[in-house]
Amino acid sequence: MTESQTMGVFGAGWVGLVTGGCFAELGHHVIVRDVVPDRIAALQAGRLPFHEPDLPEVLARNHERIRYTLDAGELVDADALFVCVQTPPTYSGDADLSFVWSALDDLPRGERRQILVMKSTVPVGTGEKVRAALEARGLTNVGYVSNPEFLAEGTAVRDFMNPDRIVIGAADPQDAAFVEALYSGIETPIVQTDVASAEMIKLAANAFLSTRISFINEIANVCELVGADVESVAQGVGLDHRLGPHFFRAGVGWGGSCFGKDVSALKQLAGNSGYHFQLLAAVIEVNELQKRRVIAKLEKHLGKLRGKTIAVLGLAFKPNTDDLRDAPSLVISSRLLAEGAAVRTWDPVADARERLRGATQCDTVLDAVRDADAAVIVTEWDELRGLASEEVRAAMARPLIIDGRNLLDPGAARRAGFAYEGVGRQSSAFETLPETAEPEERVSS
Ligand code: UDX
């Protein structure tokens, strides 16, 4: 049985609300503090500022144990203070810790022992700096623990309640034991270590996941050249128990708020410490080029893209989220617009109208593909599984599908009359396109 504690959470963002909601679910009392009045007002009125499955239910179910406030002073009686603020990249690729330092500035001054728990992803060495800052402020009653999050968007509640591991980095074993006890009720291995190693575990985990994806994307690109199929290759390689099947799907590249930021932060951290992390430089470059390969594939089938209409299907960086941060769709759409194509986008939840001025965001897939010269699957939403239909074929000017996520069965798409090109798979011959005007003629019309 969990001993109920009171915890403060700095930051009512995605990590803060998932952390706060899930700790309330475990029986704790939670006070979530943010500096944005609109956000706190919305949460108090029961509105969530973003889309995350299961989170609205968790927050509603535990509303009696969760309070939202602008006033950091209300956290004075909390036993633990979780820092869940954003750490975006700066221009140099370092992590911007200004929100972390603001949270420290706002720490309530009390007598009782409080444990400051860092959930935000921070460079290795931050813990040392925070401890020094706490001492400089005379906050000797505050202990420090690093407890990184491993939450993926779309499955964050499940990831919190059923984690692969919980990492706790602390200088003081009592502080570590206290944080471990907060998670009682969750069965999982606990990795107890020092603060610097805990910080590194988070960065290394995300860097390795990104590396796996860039690796399989490069294998896919070679498969296209030599006549192999990356889906079979990934399956055959991934069945090796030393390698495993996860994060091995080829596609248009990784995105999201964490991978790009954390890979850059680790590369920069190494550089700042005098080490050139060559592998990560390549991982990042491979990912940038991967997004752009879609343009070359379209040109291969359509010639110059000026004047062509391209449907970009899926905008969120992955399904089950409305998050557009670092989304490959933004790079692909922007490149298409720069080539002079008309871009029609669709996504069931993400709204890119602000970021993709010049593109037309459509409400339905059918609307997006109408009169299009090609449809590009960028996000593997379930709604797109039936894309190779007669209805879609009839609506398009040219039945060409560029499947950036290998979502469709290539054979079925071809039998349905589409020219099809996936990632790391053999493309259908250009001749399978029905007779239409030559690309260049259409341009001039
Ligand atoms: C990630 C980590 O998974 C999580 O542990 C960490 O704490 C935050 O960053 P998230 O950014 O939500 O989570 O997304 P994730 O599911 O990891 O996917 C990241 C990107 O990789 C997506 O763009 C996804 O489409 C892409 N991806 C993932 C692939 O291209 N291939 C794969 O096999 C897996």
Does the beta carbon of 149 sit less than 6 angstroms from any atom of ligand 1? yes
Q: Which atom of ligand 1 is nearest to the CA of 318?
A: 25
Does the beta carbon of 247 sit less than 6 angstroms from any atom of ligand 1? yes
Report the length, in residues, of the chain: 445
Enter the tokens of residue 307: 């004047």
Nearest CA to ligand 1 atom 17: 152
Q: If you measure from the C-alpha of residue 227 to the centroid of ligand 1, how many angstroms do you get, rounded to a whole number?
A: 28
Q: If you measure from the C-alpha of residue 196 to the centroid of ligand 1, how many angstroms do you get, rounded to a whole number?
A: 24
3-class secondary structure per residue, 382-408? HHHCCCCCHHHHHHCCCCEEEECCCCC
Q: If you measure from the C-alpha of residue 269 to the centroid of ligand 1, how many angstroms do you get, rounded to a whole number?
A: 22
Mean pLDDT for all residues in the chain: 93
- Mean pLDDT for 51-55 is 92
User: Considering only CA atoms, which of 232, 254, 215 is closest in space to residue 425?
Assistant: 232
Does the beta carbon of 410 sit less than 6 angstroms from any atom of ligand 1? no
Q: Is 258 a residue of the active site?
A: yes
From the number of C-beta atoms within 10 Å of its C-beta (0-12, 13-18, 19+), residue 181 rates as exposed
**Per-residue pLDDT tens digits for 319-374:** 988 899 999 999 999 999 999 999 999 999 999 999 999 999 999 999 999 999 99
**Per-residue pLDDT tens digits for 373-392:** 999 999 999 999 999 999 99
Determine the Cα angle at 267 with ends 261 and 272, to 5°: 115
Enter the tokens of residue 55: 């989170």
Mutate to test the pocket of ligand 1, among 162, 206, 318 (most ligand atoms within 8 A of CB): 318
Percent of the chain with pLDDT strictly greater than 90: 87
Does the beta carbon of 231 sit less than 6 angstroms from any atom of ligand 1? no
Nearest CA to ligand 1 atom 26: 254
Answer yes or no: is pLDDT of 109 > 90.
no
| Helix (H) or strand (E) segment spanning residue 170 | strand 166-170
Phi then psi for residue 199, to 5 deg, are -60, -40
Q: If you measure from the C-alpha of residue 393 to the centroid of ligand 1, how many angstroms do you get, rounded to a whole number?
A: 32
Determine the Cα angle at 144 with ends 141 and 147, to 5°: 150
How much is the pLDDT for 172? 95
Q: If you measure from the C-alpha of residue 188 to the centroid of ligand 1, how many angstroms do you get, rounded to a whole number?
A: 21
Nearest CA to ligand 1 atom 15: 152
- Mean pLDDT for 40-69 is 95
- Mean pLDDT for 127-131 is 92
pLDDT grade for 436, boundaries at 50, 70 and 90: very low
Helices (H), 257-327: 259-272, 278-302
**Per-residue pLDDT tens digits for 151-198:** 999 899 999 999 999 999 999 999 999 999 999 999 999 999 999 999
Q: If you measure from the C-alpha of residue 209 to the centroid of ligand 1, how many angstroms do you get, rounded to a whole number?
A: 8
Q: If you measure from the C-alpha of residue 330 to the centroid of ligand 1, how many angstroms do you get, rounded to a whole number?
A: 17
Cα–Cα distance, 302 to 194 (Å, whole number): 56
Does the beta carbon of 262 sit less than 6 angstroms from any atom of ligand 1? no
First CA to last CA across the chain, in angstroms? 73
Does the beta carbon of 251 sit less than 6 angstroms from any atom of ligand 1? yes
Amino acid at 17: L
Cα–Cα distance, 282 to 435 (Å, whole number): 42
Does the beta carbon of 204 sit less than 6 angstroms from any atom of ligand 1? no
Q: Which atom of ligand 1 is nearest to the CA of 251?
A: 30
Does the beta carbon of 152 sit less than 6 angstroms from any atom of ligand 1? yes
User: Which is the catalytic residue, given 22, 84, 223, 258?
Assistant: 258
C-beta of residue 291 within 8 angstroms of C-beta of residue 332: yes
Tokens 């890979």 locate to 263
pLDDT grade for 437, boundaries at 50, 70 and 90: very low
Q: If you measure from the C-alpha of residue 257 to the centroid of ligand 1, how many angstroms do you get, rounded to a whole number?
A: 9
Does the beta carbon of 318 sit less than 6 angstroms from any atom of ligand 1? yes
Nearest CA to ligand 1 atom 21: 254
Cα–Cα distance, 170 to 178 (Å, whole number): 11
Q: Which atom of ligand 1 is nearest to the CA of 321?
A: 12
How much is the pLDDT for 92? 83
Does the beta carbon of 213 sit less than 6 angstroms from any atom of ligand 1? yes
Does the beta carbon of 317 sit less than 6 angstroms from any atom of ligand 1? yes
C-beta of residue 145 within 8 angstroms of C-beta of residue 117: yes
DSSP 315: -
How much is the pLDDT for 98? 93
C-beta of residue 421 within 8 angstroms of C-beta of residue 401: yes
pTM comes to 0.92
How much is the pLDDT for 429? 56
